[in-house]
Amino acid sequence: METLTLVLKMDGEDKRFVSPNFISGKLFRQAAAIAEDYDSGKPEILDLDNQIQFVCDAYGNQFDFSEFEDGVDSRRMMKTIYAVVNYVIGNIEQASRLLAAENEEDGS
């Protein structure tokens, strides 16, 4: 299975996290619900705390809620969450494109 690498800023340095080999069906169900919220176009229904915890869970809790929130660029947070959602539901190419575009923008 292809992996998805997420880069977070920790202690002033970029730290890379690789998605685990196994993603549970429970995470798929959560990802589908988050994708539906995003696709609704209604920002008031987006539950950011739930989405951040989802990303932590999808990465096997290699980082915690605060580390993600502090380590992701605020201007890219939603795109990063959406990339992880796409990865979990099997849209691996789309997820990779979303994160690759971020890395190109910041020169990583």
pLDDT tens, per residue, the chain with 108 residues: 789 999 999 999 999 999 999 999 999 999 999 999 888 887 777 799 999 999 999 999 999 999 999 999 999 999 999 999 999 999 888 899 988 876 655 555
* Dihedral Cα 21, 22, 23, 24, nearest 10 deg: 180
Q: Closest by alpha carbon to 29, among 89, 92, 90?
A: 89
**Structural domain range at position 42:** 5-106
Model pTM? Answer: 0.88
Residue 12 contacts by C-beta under 8 Å, 6 or more apart in sequence? Answer: none
